[in-house]
Amino acid sequence: MSAVAGISYTRPKAGIGVVRSVGAGLLILLGGFAIAGPLVIPSDPAAQDLSASLAPIGGDYLLGADHYGRSLLARLAHGARLSFGMAFLTMLAAAIPGVLLGLCAAWKGGRTERFLELVATIVLALPGLMLVLLFLAFSPGNYGPLFLGLSLTLWVEFYRVTKATTKTVLAQPHIEAARMLGFNSRYILIHYVLPVIGQMIATLSAFAMATAIIAVSTLSAISVGLQPPTPELGGMIVELLPYYAEAPVHVLLPAALIFLLVLGLQLLAPGDRA
């Protein structure tokens, strides 16, 4: 609790609940698998052994092998790293400009705000998937266009939430009191604005990462995203789908990993949960 000129202002509650703790623990385990897995698993995710095609779980292959005899454990580890890494970088590339532009629009208003709103409206006029596909059309199957398209799709949400929340905070009486007492914009931003928008940005960041993971997997599944033999989780599902009757667990493994990654991010998103 802080007070300016007799006006009290309560910052958002800190702490982490049980649900978020479960989400954090799940992400730590999956993150450890994604980071350490490719380093400690000796198998090359692209190495083929046709004699081990669709090898069952256990034996020489802990989680079995795909139809080309490639280790599913190695491919899942590399796929998790790819999904986690791309989602994190996409979130940063969307959150940083989105938050900064939102603060700028709320602080300056006028022509600056109107121009940024126009840009955001233009971006929203295109469906998110269509925008990503437009970039992929120039260089299909590459990381750059996919990353850039997702970032440009997601930044608008960060921008609008930051702008709306900041404008609400700046309109409060205690902000006017702080200005009358001589506190500069930097002090107001750090002590009054950021504590309010921080939790919202953290929530949006978790959702943005989950959206990016699903989008990358979906685009690979429809053959317009990352292409084989890249060990991408969505692509792995499609590659193994024709062999579902023979090895159903092999198909479910990458799907389960996508589910757990998204679940962990959704549980970690801050909120008033126990």
CA 261 to chain centre: 10
Phi and psi (nearest 5°) for 189? Answer: -65, -45
Helix (H), strand (E) at residue 86: helix 72-108
pLDDT for res 177: 81
Q: Please report the pLDDT score of residue 129 as a whole number.
A: 73
Integer-rounded Cα Rg, in Å, for the chain is 23
For 199-202, the CB contacts below 8 A with 24+ separation are 199/12, 199/270, 200/161, 200/162, 200/165, 201/95, 201/99, 201/158, 201/161, 201/162, 202/269, 202/270
Question: pTM of the full predicted structure?
Answer: 0.82
* Length of the chain counted residue by residue: 274
Q: List residues bridging with 120 in a β-sheet.
A: none
Instruction: Classify domain 17-268 by CATH architecture.
Output: Orthogonal Bundle (1.10)
Q: pLDDT tens digits, the chain, 274 residues: what are they?
A: 444 333 344 444 555 678 888 988 999 999 899 888 887 877 788 888 888 888 888 878 888 899 899 999 999 999 999 888 889 999 999 999 999 999 999 888 889 999 999 999 988 887 777 777 777 777 666 777 778 888 888 999 999 999 999 888 888 888 778 777 777 778 788 888 888 888 889 889 999 999 999 988 888 877 777 777 888 888 899 899 999 988 899 999 999 999 999 999 999 886 544 4
Helix and strand numbers, DSSP H then E, in the chain: 10, 2
